[in-house]
Amino acid sequence: MSQQTTPPPPHAVLGPPSPWVVRFAPLVPSGGTVLDLACGAGRHLRHFAARGFPVVGLDRDLRGVEDLRGRNGVELVEADLENGSPWPLAGRRFAGIVVTNYLHRPLFSALLDALAPGGVLIYETFAVGNGRFGRPASPSFLLRSGELLELTRGRLQTVAYEHGEVASPKAAVVQRLCAVNDLTPGDGLDGDPEPRPLPAP
């Protein structure tokens, strides 16, 4: 008699890493630990691990990354981020934090606090207007225009930002941000921080 297995949750279907994440991954300081928040099947966890970064995958359901458990340099943290429990990574700092297709606004402060000096936040999720294409459609899960910019204003240096309709991997309205935790004034820049290189798309 064959043993039945529980299928992975819908969000844990492994696809290719986001081109936005791949583009800005080189800005993450070498050797630093990268947090993949709401990691699902770990497509970005795997991307950074394959490039030699220590990685932490955080999700309330880790079935999509069970094959990585015990692998050197991979830490898996099971936690429900939306039930009012304390932030499970309190006191820890990360060289990179990646969030894709996930939005829970009460976590914003904890995410910014968890970014190490010089660390890179790479964020990409759905925005208002996405309901015309399908789910998510609830305002709770959709960024307002400029919301990520406002979140990081005065805290992080924005490297790149986009907001609009995309056709791939499916039709959607998305907002994307890459920002660095470094506002140190650069030489001769009238108080502005030293610009980071823009990786080619």
Q: Are 112 and 157 in contact (CB under 8 A)?
A: no
- Total number of domains in the chain: 1
Where residue 1 falls among pLDDT bands split at 50, 70, 90?
very low
C-alpha to C-alpha distance for 83 and 67, rounded to whole angstroms: 26
Task: Tally helices (H) and strands (E) across the chain.
Answer: 4, 7
- Whole-model pTM: value is 0.92
C-alpha to C-alpha distance for 107 and 111, rounded to whole angstroms: 6
**Domain annotation covers residue 47:** yes
**Domain annotation covers residue 91:** yes
**Domain annotation covers residue 100:** yes
**Domain annotation covers residue 35:** yes
Residue 106, SS3 per DSSP: helix
Amino acid at 76: L
Cβ burial of 131 (10 Å; 0-12, 13-18, 19+) is: middle
CATH number of the CATH domain containing 34: 3.40.50.150
Domain hosting 69: range is 15-180
Where residue 144 falls among pLDDT bands split at 50, 70, 90?
very high
Residue 27, SS3 per DSSP: helix
pLDDT tens-digit series, residues 106-115: 999 999 999 9
pLDDT tops 90 at residue 14: no
Helix (H) or strand (E) holding 118: strand 115-126
What token pair was written down for 72?
Answer: 């050197």
Mean pLDDT of the chain: 93
